[in-house]
Structure 1
Amino acid sequence: MVRSDVVIFVSAGMISPKKRDHPLARRQLYLNYGALSLATVLQIGGHETVLVHGEHQAPAVVLEDLRAAGRFPSCYPLMLSIPSFYALPWAQRFCRLAKTADPECKIVVGGRWVVGPDMAWFRTMLPEADQLAPGLSEPYIQDLLTGSPILERTAVPTPSFTLNHTLVSGYLNYQPSIEASRGCGMGCLFCEERDIPVEKLGDPSTVARSMALVREQYGGGEIHPYFQSSMFLPTTRWAARLADEVRKSNMRVTWRTETRVDVMVPDTLAALAEAGLRVIDLGLETASPTQIMAMNKTPMPDRYLRKAEDLLEACRKYGVMAKVNVLLYAGETETTIRETEAWLDSNASSIAGVSVGPVIAYGPPKTADILIEDWARRGARPVEHDSAVRTGITKMHLSDEFDAATAEVASLELSRRYMDSDSYFALKSFSYYPRDYHRVDFDADVLASDPAALPFRLAACGEAPAPGPTKIQQA
């Protein structure tokens, strides 16, 4: 059997979208920047590497494409990254196919949120895996090519190099990523990084150089990088320095990031807008004081919501589109969701869109049960009691008043209240749709989708707008 000398990284895809299955959901692309970081390390070290995303392609198609390109089989292990529990069924099929095609293929499997929580459980789910990498693997990736090093789930600092997006198969379709920092440590009960301290941001000049290098990788074309950070937490001075660096280099690159609603002050946002920030994902989660404290977000809900209002007003003032994330939580009731709705209504003119969904316990019983037990004390219960051990995904009835079906209806209604097709397209096309995906393509996919599954308004001709209309700030 002829083997290539290419190190193959595969980012596991999904059999179907994780929320609702319709053509628009299948268009979305998520760059696996963690796997790309590892591929970049090996490329810098002199190896030929490639990163292939499974997306919503059949595992057999991805494997056949690798074989047709002369990359599979390889003399090196096959590196499989599983970015979420929703990708696990795809990974299972892919591994079985790879082992059938090449029984000698060694498969190294990573994905710290999926592999790390309980490796014994994970081995039962993916017995074809020869080596498991439970954490961040930049320090070990070279050794994984030739051996079986002892790996740990420890914190690893943000790499100092710029991700090489040209290693991604079909990279021109993807919006690029710049990893800004790792960790969060704010203690929210539902968050995987609640106990991992946030890392200090790198020097603004280094970030600006990365932006310039990424633009070169894309041939100078229009890009909208995502500054990857669980909680982007720059100081006003840092943001001002980044704006200065961007001005000096005459870069016109607009970008996106995410943060909590209570950690960034308006002056910082103003400087970031000067540096090119155009879309920000804000983790509000809820505006109900009861639910804010239940999530362990803060013991001072009033202060939390005042800071959120100040930040949203700054977004409106400085032309930054604010996409607000809302999480329907354990113990949710008609009263708590109306509290959130009323608060969103009062700030609707500063909101570009809202993403809403019910809380889910991710992970095997070893980790999921801790959350489920806390949520049970608030009146929630699993939809299926064995789903953690079977899939690593436990959907919840949030309360006696809010079962899973009611929560799904409420999620869609709340999203549509603040988001129409224009705002949805503006937000998704900035970061997640293919770079050559245009409004005419979007409109065709909308027509092919079930309107009942779409999280935005489709207003009929002459229909008045829904309460709490969205007001998009133009870039």
Structure 2
Amino acid sequence: MIRSSVVNFVSAGMLSPKKRDHALARRQLYLNYGALSLATKLQLAGHDVALFHGEHRDPEEVFRRLRESGRFPSIYPLMVSIPSFYALPWAQAFCRLAKEVDSECRIVVGGRWVVGPDLEWFRGLLPEADVLAPGLSEGVIERLLTESPVLKRIAEPTPGFTLNHLLVDGYRRYQPSVEASRGCGMGCVFCEERDIKVEKLGDAAALAASMALVGEQYDGEEIRPYLQSSMFMPTARWAAGLADEAARIGLAMAWRTETRVDAMTPQTLASLADSGLRVIDLGLETASPRQILAMNKTGVPDRYLRRASELLEACRKHGVMAKVNMLLYAGETEETLAETTTWLDAHADSIAGVSVGPVIAYGPPKTAGVLLENWRALGAQPVDETAAVTTGITTMHLSADFPAEAAEVASQRLARRYMDEDAYFALKNFSYYPRDYGRADFDRDVASSDSSALPFTLRRRETGSPAEYD
């Protein structure tokens, strides 16, 4: 068997979208910037590297593409990254294919959220994995090419290099990423990074230079990078420095990031807008004081909501599209949802769109059990008591008011209240649709989709009235 000398990374895809299955959801592309960081480090060390994304394609199709490229089989291990529990079934099928074709293929599997919580549980679900990397792996990635070390779930600082998007198969289809910082540590009960301390942002000038380098990778074409940071918390001084440096080097690039609604001041937002920020994903989650406390978002809900109001107003003032992330939580009632809806209504002119869904417990029993115990005390119950063992994805009956099906309906209704097809397209096309995907493509996909599955209201252009689904 002839083997290449390429280190192949594969980001596991999904057999179906994690929320609702329709044509628009299957168009979305998520660049696995964690895998790309590892690939970039190996490339800088002199290795020939390639990164393939599974997307929503069949594992057989992606594996065939890998083989036809001549890169597989290889003298090096096959590096499989599983970014989500929803990607686990895809990874299982893909790894079986690899072992069937090349029984000597050594498979290294990473993905800290999926692999890290319980190694023994994970080994039972993916026995084809020869080596498990449960944490961030920049510090050990070269060893993994030739060794099988026993690894721990450790943190790694943000790398000091720029991600090399040229290593991604079909990279021009993806909007790029620039990693700004790692960690969060804000303590929200439902968050995977609640106990991982947020890392201090690096030099603003260095970040601007990294963004410029990414622009060169795309030959100066229009790109809209995502500044990746679980908790983007720049100071006003740092943000002003980024704006000054962007102006100095002529960096005219629209970009996107995410943060909490209480983690950024209006002054900071204004400077970030000057530097190119055009879309921000804001983790509000709820506007019900009771649910804010239940989530452990803060101990002072009034202050939390006041700061959220101030930040949303700043977004409107400075032309930044605010996409607000909402979560129907354990113990949700008609009253708490009404509180949230009333608050959102009052800020509707500052909201570009919303993302809404019921809370889900991710992970095996070892980690999900703590969450489930907490949520039971709030009146919630798992839909399937065995789900943590079998899939690592436990959906919930939130309360007597919101069993699972009703919670899904309420999530859809809330999303449609604040988002039509124009808003949805503007937000998704900025970061997640293929770079050559246009409005005509979107309209065709909308027409071919089951309208009841769409998370936005369709406006009838002839009358201006919304289409009704419920």
Q: Which residue of 1 aligns with 2:6?
A: 6
Give the Å deviation of 1:465.
Answer: 5.8
Instruction: Please tell me the residue identity of whatever aligns with 2:294.
Output: A
Q: Does 1:200 find its partner at 2:205?
A: no
Question: In structure 2, what is the Cα distance between the partners aligned to 1:298 and 1:65?
Answer: 48
Contact 2:387/2:393 (<8 A) preserved: yes
| 2:292 maps to amino acid | I
What one-letter code is carried by the residue in structure 2 that aligns with 1:447?
A: A
- Give the deviation of 1:33 after TM superposition: 0.1
Cα distance in 2, alignment partners of residues 240 and 164 from structure 1: 27
Residue in 1 aligned with 2:387? 387
Shift of 1:151: 1.6
Report how many residues are paired: 467
4+ aligned runs moved over 2 Å, structure 1:
463-466
Q: Does 1:217 find its partner at 2:217?
A: yes
1:338 corresponding residue in structure 2: 338
SS in 1 for 2:410: helix
- 1-structure distance, mates of 2:430, 2:459: 23
Q: Which residue of 2 aligns with 1:166?
A: 166
Give how far 1:312 is off. Answer: 0.1
Q: Which residue of 2 aligns with 1:131?
A: 131
Is 2:293–2:301's contact at 8 Å kept on the other side of the alignment? Answer: yes
In structure 2, C-alpha distance between the alignment counterparts of 1:124 and 1:102, rounded to whole Å: 21
Whole-angstrom CA distance in 2 between matches of 1:119 and 1:41: 25
Structure 1: distance between partners of 2:167 and 2:255:
21
State the SS of the aligned residue for 1:459. coil
Cα distance in 2 between the residues matched to 1:407 and 1:57: 29
Give the equivalent residue in structure 1 for 2:449.
Answer: 449
- After superposition, give the CA deviation of every residue in 1:228-259 in whole Å (9 maximum; x if it has no partner): 00010000000000000000011110000000
* 3-state DSSP of counterpart to 1:141: coil
Q: Deviations 1:44-96 (Å, cap 9, x if unpaired)? A: 00000000000111111111111111010000000000000000000000011
Q: How far does residue 182 in structure 1 lie from its aligned partner after superposition? A: 0.3
Q: Percent identity?
A: 71
Show structure 2 runs of 5+ residues with no match. Answer: none
Match of 2:16 in 1: 16
Task: Quote the Cα distance in structure 1 between the aligned partners of 2:214 and 2:440.
Answer: 28
What residue in structure 2 maps to residue 350 of structure 1?
350
Deviation, 1:459, is: 1.9
Give 2:307's aligned residue. 307
1:44-443 to structure 2, matched below 5 A, reads 44-443=44-443
Cα deviation 1:18-67 (Å, max 9, x = unaligned): 00000000000000000000000000000000000001111111111111
For 1:156, the aligned partner's letter is E
- Shift, 1:463, TM fit: 4.1
TM-score normalised to structure 2 length: 0.99
Distance 2:149 2:390 in 1: 29
Alpha-carbon distance in 2 for matches of 1:331, 1:150: 41
Could you tell me which amino acid in structure 1 is paired with residue 249 of structure 2?
S
Task: Give distance in 2, aligned partners of 1:463 and 1:372.
Answer: 45
How far apart, in 2, do the equivalents of 1:401 and 1:105 lie?
A: 51
CA displacement, residues 338-367 of structure 1 (integer Å, 9 cap, x when unaligned): 100000000000000010000000000000
- Report the secondary structure of 2:267's partner residue: helix
SS at match of 1:198: coil
User: Residue 150 of structure 1: CA displacement?
Assistant: 2.9
1:440 and 1:249 mapped to 2: Cα distance? 35
* SS in structure 1 of the partner of residue 149 of structure 2: coil
Distance (whole Å) between structure 2 residues aligned to residue 463 and residue 65 of structure 1: 45
In structure 2, distance between residues paired with 1:251 and 1:180: 17
Pairwise CA distance, 1:308: 0.2
Deviation at 1:464, TM superposition (A): 3.9
**CA contact under 8 A between 2:458 and 2:466: conserved in structure 1?**
no
| Cα distance in structure 1, aligned partners of 2:341 and 2:466 | 16
Task: Report the 3-state secondary structure (helix = DSSP H, G, I; strand = E; otherwise coil) of the residue aligned with 2:30.
Answer: coil
Q: Report the 3-state secondary structure (helix = DSSP H, G, I; strand = E; otherwise coil) of the residue aligned with 1:325.
A: strand
Partner Cα separation in structure 1 for residue 217 and residue 38 of structure 2? 18
Structure-2 separation of matches of 1:167 and 1:232:
26
- Distance in 1 between the 2:185 and 2:359 partners? 19
- Amino acid paired to 2:463: G
Mapped partners of 2:204, 2:459: distance in 1: 44
Match in the other structure for 2:463: 462
The alignment partner of 1:354 has SS state of: strand
Q: Distance in 2 between matches of 1:391 and 1:284?
A: 28
CA distance in 2, matches of 1:429, 1:130: 38
- CA RMSD across the alignment: 1.0
Aligned-partner SS, 1:49: strand
